[in-house]
Amino acid sequence: MELVDLHVHSNASDGTCSPTEVVSLAQQKGLCAIALTDHDTVDGVAEALLAAKGSSLTVIPGTELSCTFEGKEIHILGLFLNLEDSAFLEELSRLRKIRDKRNQEMLSRFLADGISITREDLCLENPNTVITRAHFAHALVSLGYAKDMDSAFKKYLQYGGRYCMPKKEISYQHAMEILTKNHAVPILAHPLQYKLDRPKLLELLATLKELGLVGLECYHSSNNEYESRILKEMADSYGLLPSGGSDFHGENKPHISIGSGRGGLRISKLLLDDLRAKATNI
C-alpha cells in the first residue's frame, strides 16, 4: 500500500527540520506524498518542491490556519494551494502581522512577570520563521523556566491563559474564506484536540461544511483506532472526505515520526486521490 502524510511541519513555522530535511525524511520512509502545512505560511513550500524534484515523492502545497470558533482556537488545513494567488499571499502576510503583534504582547506579559525572552530566543535556526507556541516552549526550556516542552505548555502556554491570548482577530469564517477563494481543499485538523463535546463538535462540522469544508482529519498521531473510527463516521455523515497526517514537527515533537506518527499511523494514498479529485472540481 502506498502511504502519504498530509500534515507535516518544517522550520518555516514550528518544526525543527528544514523543508529539504523534511523531504529527505519522507523519502527515507518510502512515502509517495506529503503535504507541507506550516502555520499561516507557505514560505517552506518552494524549497520542499525543489528538494523533491525528479524524485518519486510528491509535495502538496499546504498551510495550517489558526482561527477561533466561539472563543476556542481551531486549526484548518488548506491543501493544493494556488501559490500564484497574490490575494491569498497578501492575506497570509496580514495573518503574519496579527501573529507577530500577539507574540509581542506575549513577550511583554512574560517580561512583566520577570521572565525575559527575546525574539532571538524564539527564532532558533530560522530568523524568518512564523513563531508559534512551540517556539515559546522551546525558549522557556532553554532559559530554564521549564524542565521540558510539555511542562512549558502546561504551565505557561495554555490557550486563553495569561501568556497565550486567543487570536480574536481571525475568525473561522475568515479562515474558510481565505482558503475557498484560493480554491484550496479545506480540512479541519485534529478535531479531538479542541476538547469539544460531541454536540458542539458536530455543530462545528455543520457550520464549516456550509462554508466549504471538504475534509476531516480522521487519522492523526493523537488518535487511537476507536477515535479515528468515530471521526470517520462523522465525516461520512456530513459528506466530508477523510484525511490524515502525523503532524510531524521534528524535535519539537520527538515522539512523532513523519508518516507513522507514534508508530501505528498508516495513511493510504487512496485518501489523497479522493482529495485531489475534489480539488480539481473546486
As a dihedral over the C-alpha atoms of residue 10, residue 12, residue 16, residue 21, rounded to 10 degrees, the angle is 50
pLDDT at 10: 97
pLDDT at 252: 87
- Write the pLDDT tens digit of every residue in 203-223: 999 999 999 999 999 999 999
pLDDT at 69: 93
pTM: 0.92
Q: Which residue has the cell 482577530?
A: 169
**Pair 97, 71: CB distance under 8 Å:** no
pLDDT at 213: 98
* Integer Cα distance of 256 and 252 in angstroms: 9
**Pair 89, 111: CB distance under 8 Å:** no
In this prediction, the residues of the chain whose per-residue pLDDT falls under 70 are: 168
pLDDT at 217: 98
* Integer Cα distance of 47 and 138 in angstroms: 25
Q: Which of 276, 248, 251, 188 is nearest to 23 (CA)?
A: 248
Q: Which residue has the cell 477563494?
A: 181
pLDDT at 67: 92
pLDDT at 72: 87
